[in-house]
Homo-oligomer: A and B are copies of this chain.
Amino acid sequence: MQIVPVIMCGGGGTRLWPASRTSYPKPFVPLMGAQSTFTQTLERVGNRALFSAPMILASEAHRFLVAGACAEADVTDARLVLEPEARDTAAAITAAALLAQRQNPQALLLVLAADHLIRDIAAFQQTCEIGLKAAEAGAIVTFGIKPQSAHTGYGYIQADATLLAPGVNRVKAFHEKPDAATASAHVAAGLLWNSGNFLMRADSFLAEIAAFEPELLEAVTASVDQAGELWGAVRLEPDAFRRARKVSVDYAVLERSGKVGVVAASYDWSDLGTWESIWELAGKDEAGNALIGEIETLDASRNYVHSPRLLTTLMGVNDLAVVVTDDAVLISDRNRSAEVKQLVARLEQRRPKIVAEPKRGYRPWGHYETLDLGPRYQVKRIVVHQGGKLSLQKHFHRAETWTVVAGSAMVEIDGTRKLVSENESVYLPLGCVHRLENPGKVPLVLIEVQCGAYLGEDDIIRIEDVYARV
């Protein structure tokens, strides 16, 4: 029997700011290597002999990010479930369990966070296989990680000697994030890190939810019953979903249920919660610096630098976390990188946009970036995926000149269609009804020069849109 991976894309964009933003959260940022952890998670459950098509739970606001990442990873069978608002993990997993059960009453679910790092796919699969028997027998099998250190940022799992199945011990207790002394005691006592991943039958999970959170189950069931469809995804009905109690699956089920087991996983795992934790996992030079991008150091040690675009130089500095993006720079004591949250809270007051959005804007048809912004003009690079199609639209305050620099564009202006190819331009007078489309086999790249007195993103009247944004 195949396992249904349930990939949870919750989690904000604050702890790894400025690389992550609320509209471009951690799972989608390439933090370790070229791939995002979301893409790595898809790959981890890519073996279709063991895993079925994944179910992906994400915020409605992130649906284009998810779809884009699935397309890039060539995952065409994923089932996307959109949460109209974040109601924490108990509600989300209950929705996933209900949807999976309707397809297959015996469905087995593997709940996975999209923003964790697990590099050893074989060891991960093996752990799933070890947990399978107990899960089939009705247990909720959590994945416990043998601690690498007395980490104070993770919860701990205490097993007892009872075996639910070979390799799966019954859980005696869950422990919250400890202080340093308690963490050391936990490690000495053989407790495991709670990785937040677990394996179970949908029906046995739902039975626990029915017992412990009947009102939550009722609300989520109603939301699933009345779910709509949005751009090929399941859209949970918002009013019912909002009635579900906001509670984590740990509080709602795992810490209260008698059916919880743990399998001790042997792979490296991290929740990549802070720049500090990313430095720990990254490859380092002889001086202990982890350097991502073009970096030059002079007498600098134990620093983390993430600067994919700008040449960054360090001189006589130690133990810093440095993150340089196209629009913001963070320079932090590496050991205090968990405090980024406070910094972001402050920025949210003064510079909300820099917390919310990356410089590159992601859209269902591709992405765009402002290259230059003057008092009465703006220049953008627009990239449209193969087959991508912008909405039919018009502007009241700006004219645009498009120059295609790669690929081909089908441009519609006031009802007339025209193919524009590399090294050709087209002018869009103020007020014209226009649409841009990539009919080709390679990405379309064009440079848009806007002229006008008002250049905000909100000067756009959408007349028709294939992505249901009208």
Q: Are A374 and B315 in contact (CB under 8 A)?
A: no
Q: Are B322 and A310 in contact (CB under 8 A)?
A: no
Binds B, one of A102-110, A140-148, A223-231, A326-334: A326-334
Cβ of A298 under 8 Å from chain B: yes
Cβ of A210 under 8 Å from chain B: no
Residues of B within 8 A of A451 (CB): 403, 405, 422-423
Complex Cα spacing A296 to B332, Å? 12
| From B310, B343, B372, B427, contact of A329 by CB (8 A) | B310
Complex Cα spacing A420 to B198, Å? 65
Q: What's the minimum C-beta distance from A342 to chain B, rounded to whole angstroms? A: 6
Q: What's the minimum C-beta distance from A98 to chain B, rounded to whole angstroms? A: 43
Q: Are B311 and A376 in contact (CB under 8 A)?
A: no
Binds B, one of A25-33, A345-353, A457-465: A345-353
| From B313, B329, B399, B447, contact of A347 by CB (8 A) | B313
Complex Cα spacing A317 to B334, Å? 9
Complex Cα spacing A342 to B328, Å? 27
Q: Are B324 and A343 in contact (CB under 8 A)?
A: no
- Chain A 367-392, CB-CB to B under 8 Å as 1, else 0, gives 00001101111010100000000000
Cβ of A67 under 8 Å from chain B: no
Given contacts A347-B313, A399-B423, A406-B374, contact A307 B329 (CB under 8 A): yes
| From B294, B313, B333, B354, contact of A331 by CB (8 A) | B313
Q: Are A377 and B406 in contact (CB under 8 A)?
A: yes
Complex Cα spacing A320 to B451, Å? 41
Cβ of A76 under 8 Å from chain B: no
CB proximity to B under 8 Å, residues A406-458: 406, 422-423, 425, 427, 445, 447, 449, 451
Cβ of A130 under 8 Å from chain B: no
Q: Are B329 and A324 in contact (CB under 8 A)?
A: yes
Identify the closest chain B residue to A342 (Cβ): B298
Cβ of A340 under 8 Å from chain B: yes
Q: Are A311 and B298 in contact (CB under 8 A)?
A: no
Q: What's the minimum C-beta distance from A9 to chain B, rounded to whole angstroms? A: 26
Chain A interface: which size bin? 35 or more
| From B327, B343, B372, contact of A381 by CB (8 A) | B372
Complex Cα spacing A427 to B376, Å? 22
Cβ of A314 under 8 Å from chain B: yes
Q: What's the minimum C-beta distance from A449 to chain B, rounded to whole angstroms? A: 4
Q: Find the residue from A317, A332, A350, A422 having the highest chain B CB count within 10 A.
A: A317
Residues of B within 8 A of A360 (CB): none
Q: Find the residue from A312, A339, A374, A423 having the highest chain B CB count within 10 A.
A: A423
Given contacts A316-B339, A331-B331, contact A346 B298 (CB under 8 A): yes
Complex Cα spacing A296 to B343, Å? 8
| From B296, B307, B328, B423, contact of A311 by CB (8 A) | B328
Q: Are B339 and A315 in contact (CB under 8 A)?
A: yes
Given contacts A298-B343, A327-B311, A340-B315, contact A403 B449 (CB under 8 A): yes
Cβ of A401 under 8 Å from chain B: yes
Identify the closest chain B residue to A329 (Cβ): B312
Q: What's the minimum C-beta distance from A376 to chain B, rounded to whole angstroms? A: 7
Q: Are B312 and A331 in contact (CB under 8 A)?
A: yes
Q: What's the minimum C-beta distance from A218 to chain B, rounded to whole angstroms? A: 44
Residues of B within 8 A of A256 (CB): none
Q: Are B351 and A311 in contact (CB under 8 A)?
A: yes
Complex Cα spacing A311 to B371, Å? 17
What 10 A-B pairs are tightest by C-beta distance, nearest first? Answer: A316-B333, A377-B405, A315-B332, A423-B451, A371-B371, A316-B336, A312-B329, A403-B449, A311-B328, A401-B403
- Known contacts A329-B329, A374-B405, A376-B406; can you find 16 more A-B pairs with CB under 8 A? A18-B313, A298-B339, A298-B343, A310-B324, A313-B328, A313-B343, A315-B333, A317-B333, A331-B331, A372-B381, A374-B445, A379-B447, A399-B423, A401-B425, A403-B403, A405-B449
Q: List 20 A-B contacts (CB under 8 A).
A: A296-B347, A298-B342, A298-B343, A310-B324, A310-B329, A311-B327, A311-B351, A312-B329, A313-B329, A313-B343, A314-B331, A324-B324, A371-B371, A374-B445, A375-B406, A377-B405, A399-B423, A401-B425, A403-B449, A405-B449
